[in-house]
Every structure is written in C-alpha cells, then in structure tokens.
Amino acid sequence: MTGWMKPKHQRLVLIVIALASLVGAGLLAAWALRNQASYFFVPTQMVTAPPAPGQAVRLGGMVQKGSIKTMPDGVTITFLVGDGENTVPVRFSGIVPDLFVEGSGVVAEGRLDPSGTFVADNLLAKHDENYVPRELKDMTDRQKAQIVAETEVGK
C-alpha cells in the first residue's frame, strides 16, 4: 500500500497540507482577535467619526485644565480629553494613576456610550521627557547624582 504514491508526490502533498494548515491557523487567529483589537482615536477623530457605541477603543489626548471632577461616590471622576481642536468627556471609576493630572497626557481604554461620553475601564497617564519623580523634584543635581551612585553601589 505504501507504493501507490511516489516519494516526490508524497512530499508535495505534505507541503500542500502544511501550507493549508498555516493559512488556516492564521485565519483562525485573525478571527479570534478581531474583537480584541483596540483602535486608537484622538478627540477630533472621536467627534468627527465616532466608533460604534460599545466598541473597545483607546482615546488619547491631553487632560484639560480645570476639567477633573470627583463624583459624590468618591471613586468616579469625570474629565475632558482634548487635542487642541475638540474635547471628549470621559468618565472613569477606579484608582487613578499617580501621573494623572490636569494638563498631562492620557490614554483611556474603554467604550463610547450612546450619550457621547467615553467610559474608561483603564487610564494610562503619560509624562513628558522632563519627568522627575516626586521624591527627586526638590533635590539639587548633586543630591540626585549621589542617590543614583548609592543605588549603583548597592546592586
């Protein structure tokens, strides 16, 4: 029974089966991840071409000064994210990152509700290239260098 197909044809069949398996695995992975993809929007894009309500997306921009408000429950905050042209209202319940302040960059992961408010599940605060930890903010350059040197010696 093993003699019914030449070795050359056996190899060809194996290659075709392997390629079909790879294509099938790729299509299956793409199909499985289609709902997990999180598109990135800036406020202008969110206003001009909003995603479907309930679709998981990321909203990035700057937290508008004077816009952070804490709700009576003490856990929920609302604020505005802008890009210089448009702003989007955001609501978040949870622990806010330490770097989250007015005027700083933020990426909010969540969904747009039917009223046009972005309901964030997660906040990622961004800092600029001049970021200095709070602990080092009031130190001189010499004191900072000394702390870094002490840390290196302790390793």
Q: Decide if 91 is inside a domain.
A: yes
Q: Are residues 17 and 60 in the same domain?
A: no
| Residue 8, CA distances (Å) to 1, 17, 18, 20, 144 in order | 16, 15, 16, 19, 70
pLDDT (tens digit per residue) in 4-24:
778 888 899 999 999 999 999
Task: Report CA torsion sign: 136, 140, 146, 149.
Answer: positive
* Containing structural domain, residue 11: 2-33
Q: Are residues 73 and 52 in the same domain?
A: yes
Q: What is the CATH number of the domain that holds 113?
A: 2.40.50.140
Q: Tell me phi and psi for residue 77, to 5 degrees.
A: -125, 155
Place of tokens 């069949």: 13
β-bridge pairing 39-41 and 57-63? parallel
Q: Decide if 26 is inside a domain.
A: yes
pLDDT (tens digit per residue) in 111-120:
988 888 999 9
State both tokens at 72. Answer: 């009576």
pTM (2 d.p.): 0.60
